[in-house]
A and B are shown apart, each in its own frame.
Chain A
Amino acid sequence: MAFGPHLLLAVLEGLVTSAVLALTALGLSLVFGVMRVVNVAHGEFFMLGAVLAWAVATTVGASPASGFAAALVIAPLIVGVVALLAERLVLRRVNYDPEATIVATIGLLYILQQLALTFYGADARPVPPPFNLRISLPWFGYSAYKLSIIATSATLLLLSWLVLTRTRAGLIMRATQYDRETAQAFGIPVGRVYAAVFAIGAMLAAIAAVLIVPISQAHYLMGQDPLLLSFAVVIIGGLGSLRGTVVAALLIGVSDGVISMFFSPTLAKLIATLAVAMVLVFRPQGLFGKVAR
């Protein structure tokens, strides 16, 4: 293949990465933004979503399409319940103290990882994609399923934006993010908002994971890369900025795709990691964020 088609392929692959990353990072960003909690276990919610997707798809097992559809509904729900339990049993009890929540979510990370290893095992397992179609582009055929990931993610992001800016629930969430005490004084049940936000954040990661499983298989250690990349997206995009999250996910996903294709995946990650660290050092509010109040 010549340079042009190669580049197109790299960009397409990068867009798929970006789509999944944007959803995962949105979950982290919501939790971080509204609750001021750094959820180190976010990657494990992603992993749990993928592993459960395999479990559900194999249990249902009728056809790839129905198995996948069942996984897409059930896996995020279970992950949401797990997150809700973690929030009620641990995070609330330490009163969302930043340091304590970091340590506690590290603990949660290990627990989820070990449970996945014990009950699911150490091998990587695939889930068949709901449909097998190839769309022929001028130079090569490309998986229609991958393109549908991009479409699904874009739809969900748009939906999140509408919920956040146009509904009462979104208003309550933004009010809590802006000023916890005042929101409480106006009768907003901050505790319940926090629980809901934490569960929704985890469910977004799980949905992203279910979407990616047909391409990249489920594995009990698969949570770490999404975690670091989501941190990167949230930082570069700026806290609580949906637009920033999407732009940063595109930036990181596409550059990762292109550098991986032409150089090496390790180098791509190395460059991205250092770049993010530098952004955080020299522009802590992120590229699109506002200066902290």
Chain B
Amino acid sequence: MKAGARLYALHGAVIAVLLALNFLLPAYHHGLMARILVLATFAMGYNLTFGYGGLLSLGHAMFFATGLYGAGLSIQHLGFGVPEAFLAALACGALLALIVGVLALRTTGVAFMIVTLMFSQAVHLAIIYFSAFTGGDQGLMLRPQQRRVETVLGTLNLTDPNTRYLVALALFTVVLFLMLALVRSGFGRVLVAIRENEERTRMLGYDTFSSRLAALVVSGTVCAAAGATYGILFGYVGANFASVHYSILPLLWVLLGGAATTLGPLFGTVFMYYVVDIASGYTSAYMLVVGIVLILLVLFFRKGLLGTVRERWLRWLP
């Protein structure tokens, strides 16, 4: 089999398994998986800049929150339908990523991390400051009738668990194949080259600033798509999604699954979600679990799950 065909078969198989799970999972895990798929999409968006681009951002919560509020506010205050709200959220995410990117990419390394953290914190504070519109810490609840989509085939009811899972899977599938295509393209190669050695890539004649900016805009848009989908599917839009915690989570998921692997974010998110879920059956101290996992990862397991698999056995994984 040719490399490309093998890759698409592998990723297609993962999607097929996820689709089959829709019919096999018991209700509780079915609901949990729908949530995980949306969050894994968020993690994939993060992975593009962090894993492939080598940019340690601590501010991706702002893109998730922008999607969340872009959709939520336009539904609540402008009376948008779901598809229009989703597109509005994408536009907001892309615009914010462009502005933040132009400013933050003037810095590198630790400074980049702190600048993104600060911008994200500013978005969080702005959400709380404009609580008249955003509901502040309370957030907004979207009513069930606001979460229906009229299509030519009939009404899509997004409060139904089955529909919810399939919509989450659809988003995940689109983004997964987008990422696969991106990282295999010339653009993806340049991004990795910049991560490994920016100076040399520049000398080869590539415009490293615009490549990074493009990566950040795609990443921000994907994260906003995940945020918008999360808000619409689960009917809640809240300020805590903009907090530092939600910038750290995708970092954790990506590191665990394996940075700079296409399927790593999915495995990382599933693994961590279930570790926390199982741990919280025994103890309420789930933050302790998160903390210990992060430190163990850094000490003994720097490449993450798929990163290790790739290094040991499957060199061809993208």
Contact = CB atoms under 8 A, between A and B. Distances in A.
Given A98-B109, A231-B117, A277 B288 contact: no
Interface string A253-293: 00000000000101101100110111011101000000000
Nearest to A91: B298
Interface stretch (A53-61, A111-119, A150-158, A184-192): A111-119
Nearest to B255: A103
Contacts of A277: 103, 115, 118-119, 122
A104 interface: yes
Contact of B288 (A100, A111, A267, A269): A111
Chain B facing A: main interface SS: helix
Interface string A81-94: 00000000010011
A280 B255 CA distance: 27
Contact of B298 (A103, A109, A235, A264): A103
A102 interface: yes
Contacts, number: 110
Interface in A202-229: 224, 228
Given A111-B288, A266-B125, A281-B104, A103 B115 contact: no
A38 B113 contact: yes
B19 to A, nearest CB: 34
A114 B287 contact: yes
A179 interface: no
Contacts of B122: 270, 273-274, 277
Given A99-B56, A118-B285, A280-B114, A104 B295 contact: yes
Given A94-B298, A114-B291, A281-B104, A264 B129 contact: yes
Interface string B96-110: 000000011011011
B278 interface: no
Contacts of B119: 274, 277
B9 interface: no
A130 interface: no
B118 A90 contact: no
B288 A280 contact: no
Nearest to B136: A266
B263 to A, nearest CB: 21
Interface in B120-146: 121-122, 125-126, 128-129
Interface in B227-251: 244, 248, 251
A108 interface: yes
Please give me the 7 A-B residue pairs with the lowest Cβ-Cβ distance, nearest first: A107-B294, A110-B291, A111-B291, A114-B287, A277-B118, A107-B295, A114-B288
Interface of B: 56, 103-104, 106-107, 109-111, 113-115, 117-119, 121-122, 125-126, 128-129, 244, 248, 251, 255, 285-288, 290-295, 297-299, 302
